[in-house]
A and B are shown apart, each in its own frame.
Chain A
Amino acid sequence: DAKTTQPPSMDCAEGRAANLPCNHSTISGNEYVYWYRQIHSQGPQYIIHGLKNNETNEMASLIITEDRKSSTLILPHATLRDTAVYYCIVVNYGGSQGNLIFGKGTKLSVKP
């Protein structure tokens, strides 16, 4: 089973920041938090990942709480093309390395 909990759906206005929450209260110290998104019928696209510190790249920012039990993916200026299902995944360092356990994700709808 997925080790994360995400809201099933969210709406965001175009041009506004989209903040997608993820709960991973059972995360252990050596587990990473990954975010992927999947636009309808395409392969999942890697967005960002982090261990403890906040991370930022050209696509998004990842904010991880100090206790690491939750995180937020931030798309700073959402566009219509950001409409997708967003998956938050916890990956175990010493576990099954090939096995990304996907939950149901959050369906983000960006509206004009």
Chain B
Amino acid sequence: AQKVTQAQTEISVVEKEDVTLDCVYETRDTTYYLFWYKQPPSGELVFLIRRNSFDEQNEISGRYSWNFQKSTSSFNFTITASQVVDSAVYFCALSEASGAQKLVFGQGTRLTINP
């Protein structure tokens, strides 16, 4: 069965600090997708990134970067120079690459950026 673990329940940092959110996953599939979603206080789920299991290149998008390491089954998310607007709950998710492709979510990490 697929499983996603986000061991950090809550993180609180001061604005402009860098912060890394950890995500560890379990799957028997050789091909799968990994995702990060952001849930701001307003409640909607905002897609941030999707990663194919065959693509282990790290990705950077502005202040956001993702580190995918298949060897350790991890897909960590780093926010550089954090801002108050980054405060949200962040979810890591895993999907099989065939069939229903339902998302299996981690428990989420609540990130608070203090001014």
Do these two chains interact?
A: no
Q: Which residues of A contact B (CB under 8 A)?
A: none
